[in-house]
Amino acid sequence: MPQNQQKLGPFQLLTLILAGFALLTTTIWVYLTDPVISDSLWPRDVHAHVLSLFGGEVLSDAVYGIRSHLNWTNVFYRVATTLVVLCGGSALLQCWLCGVPQLTVTDNRRTIAGRRTRPVWSDVFPHCLRRTATRSFGSLLWLALWATSSLIPGSRLEQFVYLTPTFWAAVLGAGILNGLWPEEDRWGCPSRSRWPLIFLALLTCGWIAISFWMNERLYAGLRIPHGDSAMYEEHLWNVWHGKGFRSYLDQGLFLGEHIQVIHLLLLPLHMLWPSHLLLELAESIALGLCVIPIWRIALRHSGSRSAAAWLAAAWLFFYPMHFLDIAIDLKTLRPSCYGLPFLLWGIDLAERYRWKSAGLCLVVAMSAQEDFAMIIGPVALVLWWYQRQEVRTNPAAAASARWSLATGCLSFVYLVAAVMIIIPAFRGGMAVHYSRYFGDLGSSPGDLARTVLQDPWRVISRILSLRTLTYLLAFSVPVGFLVFRSPLRLMAGSLTFVMLSLIQLGQVTPAESPPSGVASAAPVPATLELPPVPYHHFHAPLLPVLFWAAAAGLGDRRPADDDRVGKIPGQVLPWQGFSATSAARFACCCSVLTAVTSSLMPWGAAFWSERAATGYRQRFVPGPRSEHFPKVLAQLPVTSRVASTDYVHTRLTHYERSYDYSDYLRAVNNYLPGVPDDTDYIVIDTQHPYSTIRSPQDVPELRELPERWELLPDQTDGYFIILQRRPAGSPVAPRQDHPE
């Protein structure tokens, strides 16, 4: 026991334990009985299962409606029993693994580590209980805020409390779990330098496999939309079939939408395996491989293999990253994901003064989308700031500093040129389409600039809002607040963060709000607009900066298991505080716990719902639509030109031409309603999420142009409607009502 820590007597220790466990129990009881909080954590059927684990049940009556009945005593008994068992197991593990080696000095002055002095269970177990109870007192702050907010209904404080329960739970739970881990700084747990890497490699392979499996199941079930997802596979198909770098959704060449060409790197592979699933697999691999540069950066700053592995593992459970893979609207593919590992590798190489290789990686990353330049520019300037300080002691830093300064300046020049000149040139002079995302702040870059200059307070008030604070917590809590320990690196993402904070996609509606079971999906006043991210894809370029800052945040927490420095395993100097491994492990625990309530992957509670739209059976088990779809394909010649509704459009990109059948006016049809004149077939999915056509009676072409279109016999039990263009001069059948 350290000299600066007073040993508690049995009565004092028992009082501390009971008080801590009681506070934690009260917090859990409130979480499970408050309907607004429980609805923000997971779907209601999952909530009923969790409630039963604590001895409660869901009751329904005419007076109170549906409510959660839970006895506080039952919760306390289960919480106390669980924590005592965990503390006992942790104590046994530490007694088995840990121990300070006895040092022997020989005649030739060599120091030999001999037999370990192992800790005694009677010392470790009370200490584990004390640490757990002390960390449980953290729930006191949330309880105070919750009680205060209930006295001021409708206030910003109440909104904050009900928007952030998953973050409070994650921090509290991560602190307790981290405290139960064997303590290298107290009991001298030995380093296991190889196991972290082995564990991280297996975890990464597992994540890639699960990610691809989920995307493949969505594809098999006809749940992936064509727009902003499968259209990128159509780009590749059209390029190597001589149709240009485009989808027939585009208003011309795709460069009028984004300067986004990174997916063309997959063209050689696509010629071998021409499938949308190739791009999905590449995305899963790209996101999974980000752990390599994260591990390298964290290892360099912390000196600890274990700390680096814990932080890299946090990336795999980082739920804002999961929504890059599968967004809430099931858009499963964004080429910006391909740029993330290159951006991280560029940062890693630049910190090692390998500026030529870093430049190549950053150029590839910038090809993922033009807004990557808004991140690369500030990152390069931050690197320049650090490198110029090292020039006197390290001559190799001089060339890298000049390169960083040039890269930063050129990135901003490229960004302005792309947004103001290049993209508008491919749009006939029109402003970039995402200018409309900023609502009343302006619909073009010029309008936005004028708003900032003429009415700066309106912009500032949008930034300094509860919406932005919630958004900030969504990025910082899952990495254990480590990002704030390197503020200059974190500032490299400030421009992107401000831009994202100003995005306005409308007020919260059932179609736009996060699905049930995802954090921040709690009912909130209509005046509060939830952040459009991290449930979409806009935040993709920001994530490498967050983990760069988090890795650097481990730098001044010297490791307890640094096998490179030659210290005795477990040795930590008094000024060092808790180790880098402990800080990284806390971040990983935060990432895992926020994923439980916020991720739609299998480690998220919403995945296992039997009723919610986010559940496994509803999303990842193909239904009758996909079973009937091969009958549709059998009636369509590959050489035909087909217009189709979304979701089935994804499967028709390899036809002669694949047009969009919707109310959206397209350039390919001269911005007129209907389909192009050269269309041979129209395929209508009557059951897709946004379908407005349920039967042949609803088809405009059959009502208004019966001389041009005929209805093919239904072979799909009404799931699909197929129209074929009549040959010129063919007789028109008598008009009749079509049965539903």
User: Does residue 569 register a pLDDT over 80?
Assistant: no
As a whole number of angstroms, the distance between CA 476 and CA 482 comes to 7
| Alpha-carbon distance values, 153 to 157, 244, 522, 524, 730 (Å) | 9, 58, 15, 12, 70
Q: Which of 336-345, 431-440, 658-667 has the lowest mean pLDDT?
A: 431-440
Distances (CA, A) of 708 to 224, 436, 559, 697, 714: 31, 38, 75, 16, 19
For the chain, report the end-to-end CA distance as a whole number of angstroms: 79
User: How buried is 627 (Cβ within 10 angstroms: 0-12 exposed, 13-18 middle, 19+ buried)?
Assistant: middle
Closest CA to 324 of 316, 312, 314, 332: 332
Separation of alpha carbons 559 and 581, rounded Å: 6
pLDDT tier at 153, thresholds 50, 70, 90: confident
Matching residue, tokens 């690197």: 383
- For 157, the token pair is 């404080």
Tokens at residue 711, please?
A: 């209805």
Q: Confirm if 400 and 351 have CB atoms less than 8 A apart.
A: no
User: At residue 130, does pLDDT exceed 70?
Assistant: yes
* CB-CB contact of 52 with 70 (8 Å): no
Comparing 525-529, 580-584, 700-704, which segment has the lowest mean pLDDT? 525-529
CA gap 406, 356 in Å, rounded:
13
Instruction: Kindly state the average pLDDT of the residues 664-693.
Output: 90
Whole-number CA gyration radius for the chain: 29
**How far is the C-alpha of 363 from the C-alpha of 376, rounded, in Å?**
9
Model confidence over 275-317: pLDDT tens digits? Answer: 999 999 999 999 999 999 999 999 999 988 989 999 999 999 9
Residues with Cβ within 8 Å of 657's Cβ and at least 6 positions away in sequence, in order, are 248, 641, 642, 678
Examine the pLDDT at 740 and tell me if it is beyond 60. no
- pLDDT for the residue numbered 695: 92
Residue 113 sits at φ, ψ, to 5 deg, of: -85, 120
Question: Mind listing the pLDDT tens digit for each residue in 6-36?
Answer: 677 888 889 999 999 999 999 999 999 999 9
Q: Checking DSSP bridges between strand 641-644 and strand 657-660, what pairing results, if any?
A: parallel
Q: Which residue has the tokens 């063309």?
A: 264
* Predicted local confidence at residue 733, as pLDDT: 55
For CA atoms 448, 449, 451, 457, give the dihedral sign.
Answer: positive
Helices 156-163 and 165-180: crossing angle, nearest 10°? 50
- Reported as a single tens digit per residue, the pLDDT across 57-69 is 988 766 566 788 8
Q: Residue 682: is its pLDDT beyond 90?
A: yes
Q: What is the pLDDT of residue 394?
A: 81
Closest listed residue to residue 539, CA positions, set 351, 327, 251: 327
Share of the chain above pLDDT 70, in %: 85
Nearest to 222 by CA among 576, 624, 501, 586: 624
Between 461 and 720, the more confident residue is 720
DSSP-based helix, strand, coil % in the chain, nearest 5? 55, 5, 35
pLDDT value of residue 681: 96
Per-residue model confidence (pLDDT) at position 71:
94
Identify the DSSP state of 672: -
What SS3 class is residue 500?
helix
Q: What is the pLDDT of residue 286?
A: 97
Question: What's the average model confidence in pLDDT over 524-545?
Answer: 71
Tokens of 620: 């990842």
| Residue-level pLDDT at 389 | 87
Angle of the 10-33 helix axis to the 165-180 helix axis, nearest 10: 150
The answer, yes or no, to whether residue 411 has pLDDT greater than 60, is: yes
pTM of the predicted structure, to 2 decimals = 0.89
Task: For residue 611, name the pLDDT band (cuts at 50, 70, 90).
Answer: confident
Minimal CA–CA distance to 722: which of 676, 672, 675, 686? 686
Distance between CA 421 and CA 156 in Å, rounded? 42
Cα-based distances in Å from 170 to 247, 481, 521, 589: 43, 12, 16, 8
Res 512: pLDDT: 35
Q: How many CB atoms lie within 10 A of CB 21?
A: 21
CB 21 within 8 A of CB 31: no
Q: What is the mean pLDDT of residues 463-484?
A: 92
pLDDT of res. 573: 31
DSSP symbols for 326-351? S-TT-----THHHHHHHHHHHHHHHH
pLDDT band at residue 333 under the 50/70/90 scheme: very high
**CA neighbours within 13 Å on the CB side: how many for 379?**
31
Residue 567: the pLDDT is 34
pLDDT at 511: 33
Which of the two residues, 523 and 618, has the higher pLDDT score? 618
Q: How far apart are CA 144 and CA 132, in angstroms?
A: 20
Segments in 693-735 forming alpha helices (H): 700-704
What is each CA distance from 733 to 706, 707, 709, in whole angstroms?
Answer: 8, 8, 10
**Segment holding 104, helix H or strand E:** strand 100-105
pLDDT confidence of residue 719: 95
What is the phi/psi pair of residue 684, to 5°?
Answer: -120, 125
Q: Which of 142, 173, 177, 175 lies closest to 160 in space, CA to CA? A: 142
Q: What DSSP state is assigned to residue 419? A: I
